Amino acid sequence: MKFVAPALLLLFSLSFAGAWTLERTRRYLLLFAIAFLCFGLAAAGQIAIWPRDVGANKLITVILFCVGVLLLCEGVLQRSGRHLALPLPLFVAGLIVAGIFYFFYIDRSLVTRAYILHFGLGTLFLITAWQGRFLRHGRGADRALWWLVVVVGLHFFPRTILTTGVFIDGAFGAATFWNWVQITFSLVGAIIALGLMAVTAIDVVTALRGERDSDPLTGLLNRRGLDLHSRAARKAHHKPVSSIVVCDIDHFKVINDTYGHAVGDAVLEGFAGTIRDMTRAGDLVARIGGEEFVVVLRGTPPMGAYQFAERLRLDIQRARFSGLPRQQTVTCSFGVVEFREGDDLWAAVDRADEYLYAAKKAGRNRTFAEGLQKVGVA
C-alpha cells in the first residue's frame, strides 16, 4: 500500500506521455510527463530508501522534486508559447539543494530541511505564477491554470508551518512527519495532474472547434465560424453600430487559369494576411467563398468601414504576391453596409453583396458603401 502514491504519480506520467504521442505539437505534455516521472521516482525513492545512504537519498529525491517542478512550470508557460525565465528559478532550486546538503551533513536539522524544501518549492510555483501573470487575462482555462499554480504555490507555506509544529515537535516524531509529507505531496500532485488534464482536454476541444470553424487555407473563420462568433460577440458587447465589409478579389479566375491554383492559393493567403494585419482583435474576418471575404468591424460606422476598405484596397493593389510577375497587380472590390443591432448577419451580408456587385459593375477596384452610393437594395 505504501507504494500507491508513487504508482499514481507514475500513472499520471504515463497518461501525459500517451497524450503527447497523440498530440506531438503540444510539447508541454511531454514536459508534464517527465515532471510526474520525477515526482513518482522521488516519492518511491523516499519510501524504499533507495539509495540506502540516507544523505544521498535526501539529495537525489530533492533534486528530482526540483527538476520535476521546474519542468512542470516550464510546461505551464510553454503551453502559451512562453518560456520560464530560468536564472531566478535555477538559483532557488540551487539554494534548495545546497540547503538540504548543509543541514544534513554539516548542521543536521530536520525542521530546517523541511522549511527549505517546502518553502523553496512553493517559491518556484509563485515565480512561475508571476512570470505567467498574463494568463489572468486569457480564456477561462488560462485563468484556471494560473490560479492552480498560485494556490499550489501558496499552500506550501501554511501547510509546512502546521505540519512541522504538529509532527516534528510532537509525539509522533520525524518518521510520521515524512509519511505525512509523502501523502500530501502525492495528494497535491494528483490535484495538479487532474487540473492539467482538464486544461489539456479543453485545449484539444478548443482546437477541434477552431478547425471546424476556420478555413484551412487562410486560417480565417469560415461561414459557420463567422456565424457562431458573430452571435457570441453581439451577446457579449451589445454595441449598436458595427459594419459589414464584403470584399472580392477582381478577376481571380484569370489568376487561377493563367498561373495555376498554387499561385491562386498563395494570393488568397497573402490577401487574408493583409486583412488580418489591418483588423483589430475584436473584429471578425472570414472567407465565405472561393475569393469572397467578410469583415465585421465592431463599433465602426459605415464611413469608418468605408475608409478601412479603401486603405485595404490600396494596400492590396500595392502588394506583391508569390508566384505572380512583379508587374502583375491584384485588385479587389468592396461593399460596405451598417450592421445594426437586431440585424440578421446573413441578411446584412446580402445587402453588402449588392454594393459589392455594384462596385464590380462600375469597373472594379473600388468601394461602394451604404449611404454614399445608391444601388438596387430595399
* DSSP annotation string for 121-178: HHHHHHHHHHHTGGGGGS-HHHHHHHHHHHHHHHHHHHHHHHHIIIIISSSSHHHHHH
Q: What are phi and psi of 114, to 5 degrees?
A: -60, -45
* Residue closest to 351 by CA, chosen among 367, 365, 366, 338: 338
310 noted as active-site residue: no
The cell for 344 is 440578421
- In this structure, the chain runs to a length of 378
Q: Which amino acid is at 228?
A: L
Q: Is the peptide bond before 51 cis (omega within 30 degrees of 0)?
A: yes
Q: Which amino acid is at 300?
A: T
User: Which residue matches cell numbers 445587402?
Assistant: 351
Are the C-beta atoms of 167 and 180 separated by less than 8 Å?
yes
Catalytic residue among 74, 291, 338, 370: 291
Query: What's the first-to-final CA gap in the chain, in angstroms?
Result: 77
Strand 241-249 relative to strand 292-297, pairing:
antiparallel
Q: What are phi and psi of 238, to 5 degrees?
A: 55, 40
Distance CA 255, CA 351 (A): 27
Rg from Cα positions in the chain:
29
Residues classed as catalytic: 291
